[in-house]
Amino acid sequence: MKRVELIEILDQLLTPWKFKDYAPNGLQVEGRSEVSHIVTAVTAGQAAIDAAIELGADTLLVHHGYFWKGENQVITGMKRNRIKALLDNNINLVGYHLPLDAHPTLGNNARLAQALGLELAGPMELGNELSIPVWGKFEPPVSESELCDRIAKALGRTPLCISGHDRKIATLGICTGGAPDYIDLAASLNLDGYLSGEVAERTYYSAKEQGVSYFAAGHHATERGGVQALGQYLADNHGLKVTFIDCDNPV
């Protein structure tokens, strides 16, 4: 497959032009024009690049790529080493951020909800069809401890739980990654719980004072699902060889 064809397929699937994102979506570093072996990873860190080189891949497809809004524009140090490794080995770097969070079937939120047995019901940002945070229902409702067990089984790590009440969780908001402050939106919607990847000091007070149980399940861990599903889609529908690399990250 030609690289330009791959980007066209991904763009049509993920519709990045609809999102106001913090980094460019699509091709970020140009490598080989022919694509046959894609390595997928959550983040384009050096370990993921080294794995792609070792496997002889021509493309690295990630959720967290480069050139974030507000970052230093100079190419020195860590950034220089990463980009040099990609260029020296003629590897394409392709990244999709918010579009991959929000995709209704392949996205991070959708995949995590499916893994937890949560039936998604709609956006948390009411009236916004591109809302990144979403919410869903458990039928029947689950206890906090049972939800923690489901998260641990799905993600391979025990979540931090800040209990906001003593009732079961019937409704849960989700926004994978680093989005703890949507707990306040969850409270305004009268949701029983809210799940994200990271936690802030202020999250504790929001949970306790607004009666919303908060589950912090890890930024990296909550965002493995989307890029894995996207890679599997490319393998199943376009015959590409795809290898997922899970670079260890406890955050």
Cα dihedral 99, 101, 103, 105 sign: positive
Whether residues 44 and 66 share a domain: the answer is yes
Residue 246 lies in a domain: no
pLDDT digits 0-9 by tens, 115-163: 999 999 999 999 999 999 999 999 999 999 999 999 999 999 999 999 9
Whether residues 146 and 163 share a domain: the answer is yes
Whether residues 89 and 118 share a domain: the answer is no
Whether residues 75 and 115 share a domain: the answer is no
Residue 191: per-residue pLDDT = 98
Query: Interhelix angle for 108-116 vs 224-238, to 10°?
Result: 100
| Domain termination residue (choose one: 56, 76, 96) | 96
User: What is the H or E stretch that residue 177 is in?
Assistant: none
Residue 175 lies in a domain: yes
Whether residues 195 and 145 share a domain: the answer is yes
Residue 212: per-residue pLDDT = 98
**What's the pTM?**
0.96
Residue 248 lies in a domain: no
Domain that holds residue 37: 3-96
Looking at the chain, the whole-number percentage of residues with pLDDT higher than 70 is 100
Contacts 24+ apart (CB under 8 A), 7-10: 7/94, 9/234, 9/238, 10/94, 10/96, 10/230
**Residue among 64, 225, 215, 245 at smallest CA distance from 152:** 215
Residue 186: per-residue pLDDT = 98
Residue 214: per-residue pLDDT = 98
Phi-psi region of 220 (alpha: psi -120 to 50; beta: other; left: phi over 0): alpha
Residue 209: per-residue pLDDT = 98
Q: Enumerate the H helices of the chain as residue ranges.
A: 3-14, 46-55, 77-88, 98-102, 108-116, 144-155, 183-188, 201-210, 219-222, 224-238
Whether residues 116 and 215 share a domain: the answer is yes
Mean pLDDT, residues 155-178 taken together: 97
* Count of domains observed in the chain: 2
Whether residues 109 and 200 share a domain: the answer is yes
DSSP 178: S
| Domain termination residue (choose one: 66, 81, 96) | 96
| Domain termination residue (choose one: 79, 96, 113) | 96
Residue 203: per-residue pLDDT = 98
Q: Confidence class of residue 53 from pLDDT cuts 50, 70 and 90?
A: very high
Query: Interhelix angle for 144-155 vs 108-116, to 10°?
Result: 120
Q: What are phi and psi of 165, to 5 degrees?
A: -170, 180
Say which CATH number the domain at 23 has: 3.40.1390.30
Residue 68 lies in a domain: yes
Residue 234 lies in a domain: no
Mean pLDDT, residues 33-42 taken together: 98
* 201 Cα distance to chain centroid: 22
Per the prediction, the chain carries an average pLDDT of: 98
Residue 228 lies in a domain: no
Residue 62 lies in a domain: yes
Residue 243 lies in a domain: no
